[in-house]
Amino acid sequence: MGLLEGKEMDVAIIGAGPAGLSAALYAGRARLSTVVLEQGMVGGLAATTHWIGNYPGFPEAISGQDLMQRMEEQARRFKVEFVFTPVSGVSKDSERRFKVDTGEGELLAKTAIIATGSVRRRLGVPGEDKLQGLGVSYCATCDGPFFRDKHVLIVGGGDTAIVEAMFLTRFAKQVSVIHRRGELRATKVLQEAALRHPKIQFFWHSQVTEIVGENNVQGAVLKDARTGETKLVEADGIFIAVGIRPSSEFVKDMVETDERGYILTDDRMRTSTPGLFAAGDVRAKSLRQVVTAVSDGAIAATEADKYMSELQ
């Protein structure tokens, strides 16, 4: 029998990123029996960010890992349980409780909060894992300010890549866009702005085959898709913007989503299933940052408390 088999809780929070940790804090403070289920490490993508310089209260910046550790410690002060196990599905039983299928058995909960975030697509090339947080980044708004007066590369040709390239010009002295095709996929307005920007240059028909550097990024090896020739482009950082996907597949039969799989909620974080909430990067929203995830989590936990009160 697994650790969670047959256990009943007020709130099951799936995901221990900033949204899940914030929800845990608010649920714990409300004296709700709360469990956080996480299949990886506490903090999610935020914990892999080398420095976070835009979270209120930390003028000198703080590492993502340290910030997430503080959030975890704060939640644990209010007797929130953490169980490290994968979640494969969520359903409802005849008593309107949520059944959460985990690697440690089936958990029962009066409410559930989906805070599983999103996964940034990776290049899968040598050097990417080794140098993540040491010049390899997946978020320009998070890490751009650390590359003031530097040369940075950005990989991708869609809206996200070009928006991030434009943002990086506020700090970097040179931004080089690497795209595997001969034209951008971004909307025309974005294309036009990027193509005429004096700080942005383009490497067309190019793919990154390796990110080079020892203790920090020093450049990337590019392969020309037409000729097969390779060359090293020196740079201080590389931003990868080849797409993200929400981690919502396991609840696809329980919630409404948009065409990309992001969970649809109202401003109270309520999904299409009563008692089931979503918070953070997994839900459809305009800005995905630690500070917005924390806000979502606080709202979701508060609404979960209200929902249980209305059931009584």
Rounded CA separation 139/160 (Å)? 10
Q: What one-character-per-residue DSSP string does 234-286 give? A: E-SEEEE-S-EEES-GGGTTTS-B-TTSPBP--TT-B-SSTTEEE-GGGB--S
User: Domain 122-240 has what CATH class?
Assistant: alpha beta
Catalytic residue among 10, 66, 139, 267: 139
pLDDT attached to residue 86? 93
d(CA 51, CA 282): 22
Do 121 and 160 meet the contact criterion of CB atoms below 8 Å apart? no
Task: Read off φ and ψ for residue 48, nearest 5 degrees.
Answer: -90, -5
pLDDT tens over the chain, length 312 residues: 678 888 999 999 999 999 999 999 999 999 999 999 999 889 987 887 767 888 999 998 898 889 999 999 999 999 999 999 999 999 998 778 999 999 999 999 999 999 999 888 899 999 999 999 899 998 887 789 999 999 999 999 998 899 889 999 999 999 999 999 999 998 898 899 999 999 999 999 999 999 999 999 999 999 999 999 999 999 999 999 998 889 999 999 999 999 999 999 999 999 999 999 999 999 999 888 899 999 999 999 999 999 999 876
Which of 91, 146, 150 has its CA nearest to residue 275? Answer: 91
* Vertex 161 angle, CA 211 and 177, to 5°: 55
Please pick, among 142, 281, 296, 305, the residue that the annotation labels catalytic.
142
Q: Which residues contact 231 (CB under 8 A, 6 or more apart)?
A: 221, 222, 224
- Tokens standing for 44? 């999610």
Q: What is the pLDDT of residue 280?
A: 97
State the pLDDT at residue 1: 61
Residue 6: predicted pLDDT: 82
For 8-119+244-311, CATH gives 3.50.50.60
What residue ranges of the chain are covered by domains with CATH 3.50.50.60? 8-119+244-311, 122-240
- Tokens 């085959």: give the residue: 209
Tell me if 12 sits within 8 A of 107, measured CB to CB.
Answer: yes
Identified catalytic residue from 143, 281, 296, 305: 143
- Residue 139 annotated in active site: yes
Give the whole-angstrom CA distance, residue 99 versus residue 92.
6
Cβ density class 226-240: b for 16+ within 10 Å, e for less: eeeeeeebebbbbbb
- What distance in Å separates the CA atoms of residue 141 and residue 163, rounded to the nearest whole number? 10
Kindly state the DSSP code that residue 97 receives in the 8-state scheme.
Answer: P
Specify the 3-state DSSP secondary structure of 188.
helix
Q: How many CB atoms lie within 10 A of CB 264?
A: 14
What was the pLDDT predicted at 44? 84
Contact 288, 282 (CB under 8 A): no
Reply yes or no on whether 236 is catalytic: no
Rounded to the nearest 5 percent, the helix, strand and coil shares of the chain are 25, 30, 45
Query: How many CB atoms within 10 Å of residue 182?
Result: 11
pTM of the model: 0.75
Give the pLDDT score at 157.
94
Instruction: Judge whether 296 counts as a catalytic residue.
Output: no
Give the H or E element holding residue 140.
Answer: helix 140-143
Q: Which pLDDT score is estimated for 197? A: 97
- Alpha-carbon distance 170 to 149, whole Å? 9
